[in-house]
Amino acid sequence: MTPLEHHADDAAVRVGYHAHVQNQAGTTHAGIVLAAGSGTRVGNSRNKVYLPLAGRRIVTWSLELFQKVPGIGRLVLVVRNDDQELAEEVLDRELPGVPVDLVTGGETRHESEYRALLHLADDIRQGEIDVVLIHDAARPLASVSIVEEVLATAIRTGSAIPALPFEDVVGVDEAERISHAGRTDLVRVQTPQAFKSGPLLTAYEAAAVDGFAGTDTASCIERYEGVPVQVVPGDPRNIKVTYADDLFTAELFLATAGYEL
């Protein structure tokens, strides 16, 4: 066992009742919610994912999203060590009785993802977890339909990410003139993202050996497993709460008549 594996094992804390929810095929899917960033640009000294949003914490919206989708039987919340006690309090109060595994994250997003995967590694290797979904805790307005779409696509193709097109983007040549030569369509990537668990774990283990840290999950699995990442339509309402204005926008979306996650 590597030092990182040992650390991830020690950091895992079980909350609530932890029977695995399995489908007819004898497998389940796992939802990982990442909340280990500093998240202070929103203008608060506390990690933004614990700020209130429409009567509950931002992180609660993101966890509950996965709970609503049939077949997702494991929930993992990746937290900063300093936030662990707060996270336990929020889970007890806002998601009572819901089984959530707490895992202490790392210094980077990549390391936090790896620690979450190490926590699930035994079940992945035993074939008990088919697809892993990874979601930013700071995207509380992601819809069930997006989760279902990326999950179904990952089951079919091996991976899926939601994205929106970049609008009003043009290329500029060496003479600083607009140029469309060689231009490819650009997209803005969102979460949750979904990947077949076996190749995902293998890719992150290989990256650990090489010391590689990808910019996102897709870059790691593409590099080491050659899995083409399928893009599915994202949702403009699936915003990431980064600044104070984003929190206000999220409140407005939730207050919109007829809007359902």
Fold of 3-255: Spore Coat Polysaccharide Biosynthesis Protein SpsA; Chain A (3.90.550)
Which residue carries 């020690």 as its tokens? 10
What amino acid is encoded at 55 in this protein? G
Count the residues in the chain.
261
Give the residue among 136, 114, 129, 122 at the shortest CA–CA distance from 207: 114
Write down the pTM of the prediction.
0.85
Calculate the alpha carbon distances from 50 to 37, 47, 69 in Å: 12, 6, 23
Strand-pair partners of 135 = 33
258 contact partners, CB below 8 Å, separation of at least 6: none
Angle 58-67/84-94 helices, nearest 10 degrees?
60
Q: Which residues of the chain have pLDDT under 50?
A: 1-22, 24, 41-43, 257
pLDDT of residue 179: 67
